[in-house]
Structure 1
Amino acid sequence: MNDITPAELKERQQQNQTPVIIDVREPWEYEETHIDGSQNIPLGELPGKIEDLEDLKHQEIVVHCKGGGRSATAKALLQQHGFDKVRNLLGGITAYNAG
């Protein structure tokens, strides 16, 4: 799937069509600011959480970090494990909060 822009995600949220949102930043970053409804799974912990996410394998998932680097890695990892609807939030939470 193509990645998602902050504007597109916000529009989906306003229409109550929010996908699963996974924030792959560290807990202290998540505490500073986060997208409502997102779950925090730091990138370093993601490989150990794959089995816990099994029920989401065919649901749309948006991964994000601060600027897009860590979430690009997270997207690739999830896709390698058969998650087929993973999208990276372009520009990360920095772009999301700026919009």
Structure 2
Amino acid sequence: MKTIDSKTVQEKLANGEELNLIDVREVEEVQEGKIPGAVNIPLGLIEFRENELDQNKEYIMVCRSGGRSGQATQFLQTKGYDVTNMEGGMLSWEGPVEK
């Protein structure tokens, strides 16, 4: 499983890179703040909403600590998606958040 740390994600966004971020936390958790531009697809809905994802794009999966996003990353990899897990999740995120 590919991984990336939150600091690298923050640097890429600061440099103007367009990243496809999927936040797999529950809706209530995301309402407390998410990485700007991240799309919320709760882990329990990934299999039902995977048709919203493009297999020609790279995705970075995010959750609270990296566990649920790791599960989502592994699931989507088996389906042929190019996915990377953000280690440490939002607990390690020091960049801006939007509510």
Whether the TM-score (by the shorter chain) exceeds 0.5 is yes
1:15-62 CA distance string (max 9 Å, x none): 111310000000000000100000000000110011121xx2121200
Cα deviation, residue 97, structure 1:
3.2
Whichever residue aligns with residue 62 of structure 2, its letter is: H
Which of residues 57, 69, 93 is equivalent to 1:71? 69
TM-score with structure 2 length normalisation?
A: 0.90
Alignment partners' CA distance in 2, 1:67 and 1:10: 16
TM-score with structure 1 length normalisation?
A: 0.90
Alignment partners' CA distance in 1, 2:89 and 2:33: 12
Q: Number of matched residues?
A: 95
1:32 paired with 2:32, answer yes
Contact 1:9–1:18, Cα closer than 8 Å, also in 2: no
Q: Identify unmatched segments of 5+ residues in structure 2.
A: none
Alignment partners' CA distance in 2, 1:90 and 1:26: 18
Residue in 1 aligned with 2:92? 95
Q: Please, what is the CA RMSD of the aligned residues?
A: 1.4
Alignment partners' CA distance in 1, 2:69 and 2:41: 11
1:46 paired with 2:46, answer yes
Residue in 2 aligned with 1:9? 9
Q: Identify unmatched segments of 5+ residues in structure 1.
A: none
- Between Structure 1 and Structure 2, the one with more helix by share is 1
1:66-95 CA distance string (max 9 Å, x none): 001100000011111110x21111100110
